[in-house]
C-alpha cells in the first residue's frame, strides 16, 4: 500500500498543509490531513475490498520478504490481516489530526485498549488507573489482566499525590481518560505526565470524549492516545472502530500484535470512518456549542440537582479543562431532583433525544446509566461506583440548540405535574 502523501511536493515528507502559515484550521485538517495518493485519482478514498494480495513473480516475493526481514519500509503487504490501503488512509488521517507519529486502526475501541495492554504488559507487572475510567477498561484490567498475573491499582481521579504514591517499582503504565465517562472529569495532563515521568512509566489516555480537535494529549507528553472511533470520529452511529496513536516505534509494536490477535478493521469500516472524519471539524464545533448551551440551561433549572460539564465553572476540573481544551464536547451529565422512577419519567418525556447507548453521533442520545450500563448491579453496588438512580447522561448531537433546550425544558416542567 502506498505511503506517499498526495500533498507532498518535495522529498522531506513535508506536505502542503504542514507548510501553510498560519496552521490550517480543524475543518481543513479533517478533510485533508495526510491525504493519500491512489491510483485512480479518486477524490474519495477507494475501498480496496480484498483479503489477499498477489505477487508478480517469485523475485517480487523475495524482494518483499527481504524488505520485511530487514525492517525496511514497504509499499505493500501480502495479507489483509496485516494491512489494507483504505485502512492505512484512515490511519494516516487520524495521525494528522492527532499530530501523532503514527496511528493504528482496530475493530473497536476496546480492541485498541486490550491490544496495547497485551503488548506492553508481561506477567508480574502492575497497572495504575484512575477510578473514573470507562467501566469495560476497568473490568479488563481488574479481571482479565489479573488472570495473567498482572495487578491493577486504582486511584481517585484528580488526586495526583495518590497517583504518585500508587506507582510501584513494577508499574509499567498509568491509564486515564480525559474527559471521563460519565462525570466528565478532566485530567491535568501536565501533572499526570510529570508523575509518570518521575517514575519512568508509560502513560495512556483515552481521549474519545474530546476528539483530537478539543485536546491532543500527545502534545502534553502522553505516550499513547486511544479513541473509540465509533463515537465522534465516525460521527454517525454506523460503525465500530478504535485507534491507538503515538510515536512510530511504539505503534509498530502494536501493529505486530494486531496481526497476531486479529482485531483488524475492514475496508468498508475504514471508508465510513474517512467519510465521517471529513466533517469532524463542523460536527465538533456544533457539539461544543450545544454542550455548553445545554449545560448552562440545565444548571439554572429548578428541577435539576447538579450538572457535570467541563465548560461550567462549577465543574471540579474546569480550570484544567479551560487551560488544555479548545472546546468541551457534547456530553452533559446531570441529576434530576428525584429518584430513579421520576428520572425515568423525564427520559420518557423528551422528544428529540433517542434512548440509546453510545455517544458522539449526529443524533442526540439519552440514557439513565443505572438502567443502561449498570443495570446488572444492585443499587448499593451502583452507589459504590458513583452511579445514582437520578443520573442522566445526555450526548448532544448536531440538532439546533434552541430545539434541544425547548425539548428538555418541556420534559422537566412535566415533572412538576
Angle, in degrees to the nearest 10, between helices 109-120 and 248-261? 110
The count of other CB atoms within 10 Å of the CB of residue 413 is 13
- Using DSSP bridges, classify how beta strands 304-308 and 224-228 pair: parallel, antiparallel or unpaired: unpaired
What proportions of the chain, in percent to the nearest 5, are helix, strand and coil?
Answer: 40, 15, 45
206 belongs to the catalytic site:
yes
**Short-list 233, 227, 228, CA closest to 281:** 233
134 belongs to the catalytic site:
yes
Catalytic residue among 188, 206, 266, 317: 206
| Residue 82 neighbours by CB under 8 Å, 6+ apart | 259
For the chain, the C-alpha Rg in angstroms (whole number) is: 22
Catalytic residue among 76, 81, 99, 345: 81
Hey, which bits of 16-125 come out as E strands? 102-106
| Residue 216 neighbours by CB under 8 Å, 6+ apart | 98, 99, 207, 225
Cβ atoms 49, 230 nearer than 8 A: no
Whether the upstream peptide bond of residue 22 has omega within 30° of 0, thus cis, is: yes
DSSP codes of every residue in 352-398: SSEE-S---SSS-EEE-TTTTTTTTS-HHHHHHTT--TTEEEEE--S
Catalytic residue among 35, 102, 134, 172: 134
Catalytic residue among 231, 255, 286, 393: 231
Distance separating alpha carbons of residues 197 and 191, to the nearest angstrom:
10
Number of continuous H segments (helices) and E segments (strands) in the chain: 17, 12
Catalytic residues: 81, 134, 206, 231
Amino acid at each position: 500500500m502506498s505511503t506517499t502523501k498526495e500533498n507532498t511536493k518535495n522529498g522531506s515528507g513535508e506536505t502542503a498543509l504542514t507548510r501553510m502559515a498560519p496552521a490550517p484550521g480543524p475543518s481543513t485538517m479533517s478533510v485533508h490531513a495526510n491525504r493519500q495518493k491512489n491510483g485512480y485519482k479518486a477524490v474519495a478514498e477507494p475501498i480496496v475490498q480484498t483479503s489477499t494480495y498477489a505477487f508478480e513473480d517469485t523475485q517480487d516475493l523475495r524482494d518483499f520478504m527481504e524488505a520485511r526481514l530487514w525492517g525496511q519500509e514497504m509499499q505493500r503487504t501480502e495479507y489483509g490481516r496485516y494491512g489494507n490501503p483504505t485502512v492505512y488512509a484512515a490511519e494516516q488521517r487520524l495521525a494528522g489530526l492527532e499530530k501523532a507519529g503514527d496511528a493504528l486502526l482496530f475493530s473497536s475501541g476496546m480492541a485498541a485498549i486490550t491490544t496495547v495492554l497485551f503488548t506492553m504488559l508481561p506477567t508480574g507487572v502492575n497497572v495504575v488507573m484512575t477510578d473514573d475510567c470507562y467501566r469495560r477498561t476497568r473490568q479488563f484490567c481488574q479481571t482479565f489482566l489479573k488472570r495473567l498475573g498482572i495487578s491493577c491499582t486504582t486511584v481517585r481521579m484528580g488526586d495526583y499525590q495518590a497517583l504518585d504514591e500508587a506507582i510501584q517499582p513494577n508499574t509499567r503504565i498509568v491509564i486515564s481518560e480525559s474527559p471521563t465517562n460519565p462525570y466528565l472529569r478532566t485530567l491535568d495532563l501536565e501533572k499526570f505526565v510529570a508523575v509518570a515521568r518521575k517514575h519512568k512509566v508509560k502513560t495512556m489516555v483515552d481521549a474519545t470524549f474530546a476528539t483530537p480537535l478539543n485536546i491532543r494529549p500527545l502534545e502534553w507528553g502522553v505516550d499513547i492516545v486511544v479513541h473509540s472511533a465509533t463515537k465522534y470520529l465516525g460521527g454517525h452511529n454506523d460503525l465500530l472502530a478504535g485507534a491507538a496513536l503515538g510515536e512510530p516505534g511504539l505503534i509498530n509494536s502494536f501493529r505486530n500484535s494486531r496481526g497476531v490477535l486479529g482485531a483488524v478493521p475492514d475496508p468498508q469500516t475504514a471508508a465510513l470512518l474517512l467519510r465521517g472524519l471529513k466533517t469532524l471539524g463542523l460536527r465538533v464545533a456544533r457539539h461544543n456549542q450545544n454542550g455548553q448551551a445545554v449545560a448552562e440551561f440545565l444548571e439554572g433549572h429548578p428541577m435539576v440537582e447538579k450538572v457535570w460539564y467541563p465548560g461550567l465553572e462549577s465543574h471540579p476540573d474546569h480550570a484544567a479543562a479551560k487551560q488544555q481544551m479548545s472546546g468541551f464536547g457534547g456530553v452533559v451529565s446531570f441529576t434530576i431532583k428525584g429518584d430513579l422512577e421520576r428520572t425515568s419519567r423525564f427520559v420518557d418525556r423528551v422528544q428529540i433525544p433517542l434512548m440509546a447507548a453510545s455517544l458522539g453521533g449526529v443524533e442526540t442520545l439519552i440514557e439513565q446509566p443505572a438502567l443502561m450500563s449498570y443495570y446488572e448491579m444492585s443499587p448499593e453496588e451502583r452507589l459504590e461506583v458513583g452511579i445514582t438512580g437520578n443520573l442522566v447522561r445526555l450526548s448532544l448531537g448536531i440538532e439546533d440548540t434552541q430545539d434541544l433546550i425547548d425539548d428538555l425544558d418541556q420534559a422537566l416542567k412535566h415533572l412538576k405535574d
